[in-house]
Amino acid sequence: MRHIYKDFPTSNFIGVSHISRKINQPRPVKLIVGMLSCESALFEAARASLEGYYGAVDCVSEVLSFTYTSYYEKQMGANLLRQFVSLARLIDPSELAAIKHATNALEAKLGQSEAGRAVGVSRPINLDPGYIEPSKLVLASTKNYSHRIYIGQGMYAETTLQYHKGRWTTWPFSYPDYGSGAYDTFLHEARHRLLEQLSEPPREPGR
């Protein structure tokens, strides 16, 4: 199919000529991964694998009880637990779709491990990657919906929370657990670390 913008004029459009707009590259963002399982030992296994993929973890939440919905119980069992980690190496936001594919593959790998099979459920662990930037939290999803946008490679993303006037605030579509405030301590810590990193001077090559 011919590209619809192939012959799009760059000047003298609707009587306006030689207008240019500077295209800015996005600033790096902080990768986070939310982990959900009824077996906390799988969090350690997931964390080790994530560090192998993306480098050191710099923020870790406490292990929290997940009691906001029974949606996952059929696949994952009861008495679910939640933990978050953030990664020290900042990423380009365009990497999120590929990262979601990688965490899906890691879910399957951990599910087939000895520890995963011992849980006795069809989905021993759920990994939800996203990123924090100063103004918002973005999460990846395999599912489309009215509030999600396509980010390539069969993946979608949503702005789950916004950071406004010193606190994390919700949208009408925000997940109840994210809107509960239970994760705010971790999100504040990860955001603070991101701001520190963004303010650091660039490293010289080779250092």
DSSP string, 152-195: ETTEEEEEEEEEETTEEEE-TTS-HHHHTTTTHHHHHHHHHHHH
What is the residue range of 94's domain? 32-197
Which residues, at least 6 apart from 39, have a Cβ–Cβ distance to it below 8 Å? 81, 115, 118, 119, 124, 125
Between CA 59 and CA 89 the distance in angstroms is 12
Does residue 86 belong to any structural domain of this protein? yes
Residue 149 pairs in a beta bridge with 157
Does residue 21 belong to any structural domain of this protein? no
149: part of which helix (H) or strand (E)? strand 149-152
Does residue 112 belong to any structural domain of this protein? yes
Residue 65 pairs in a beta bridge with 81
Does residue 158 belong to any structural domain of this protein? yes
Does residue 75 belong to any structural domain of this protein? yes
Which of 193, 181, 191 is closest to 138 using CA atoms?
191
> Cα separations (Å) of 203 from 100, 101, 207?
29, 30, 6
Does residue 51 belong to any structural domain of this protein? yes
Between CA 191 and CA 168 the distance in angstroms is 11
Q: How many domains is the chain built from?
A: 1
Instruction: Taking the CA atoms of 154, 131, 91 and 104 in sequence, report the sign of the dihedral they define.
Output: negative
Does residue 206 belong to any structural domain of this protein? no
In this prediction the pTM is: 0.87
Does residue 5 belong to any structural domain of this protein? no
81-87/30-37 β-pairing = antiparallel
> What pLDDT tens digit does each residue of the chain (207 aa) get?
455 545 555 555 455 555 568 999 999 999 999 999 999 999 999 999 999 999 999 999 999 999 999 999 999 999 999 999 999 999 999 999 999 999 999 999 999 999 999 999 999 999 999 999 999 999 999 999 999 999 999 999 999 999 999 999 999 999 999 999 999 999 999 999 999 999 988 665 445
155-164/30-37 β-pairing = unpaired
